[in-house]
Amino acid sequence: EVRLVETGGGLIQPGESLRLSCIVSGFSVNSYNMTWVRQAPGKGLERVSLFYNGAKTHNADSAKGRFIISWDDSKNTLYLQLSALRVEDTAVYFCARGRPPPGPGAFDVWGQGTMVTVSS
């Protein structure tokens, strides 16, 4: 079964760091484009970071210099390291899989999301 499970969210203070995990089952994380998308409370979907073409990464402007996407083939897991967190980073963070075959496109499998709350 193809499945994505995000973990690692929580309540954190401004300026601190957090690592989110997206545990992948049913396919190999390095064989697909994978992305992190966030959704602030009551707001729309916002691109955060992308892992594509098996080894490349691309961040949205809001994430550049603060967030790092990475992966571990042995654990078949995608990560998002969040640093210097701000109140406006408060959101549900989803991971999603690019629709096969790997290439530019839409995201066909989504996790349930993990909530990150940045507050003092």
Q: Which residues of 86-98 are buried (b: 16+ CB within 10 A; e: fewer)?
A: eeebbbbbbbbbb
Residue ranges that bind other proteins, judged by CB under 8 A = 37, 44-47, 50, 52, 56, 58, 94, 96, 99, 104-108, 110-113
Burial bucket for residue 34 (CB in 10 Å: 0-12, 13-18, 19+): buried
- Rounded least distance, CB 35 to other proteins, Å: 8
Q: Is 62 left (phi over 0), alpha (psi -120 to 50) or beta?
A: alpha
- Rounded least distance, CB 80 to other proteins, Å: 16
The smaller minimum CB distance to other proteins, of residues 28 and 112, is found at 112
The smaller minimum CB distance to other proteins, of residues 9 and 111, is found at 111
The smaller minimum CB distance to other proteins, of residues 16 and 88, is found at 88
From the CB of residue 18, how many other CB atoms can be counted at a distance below 10 Å?
19
- Rounded least distance, CB 56 to other proteins, Å: 7
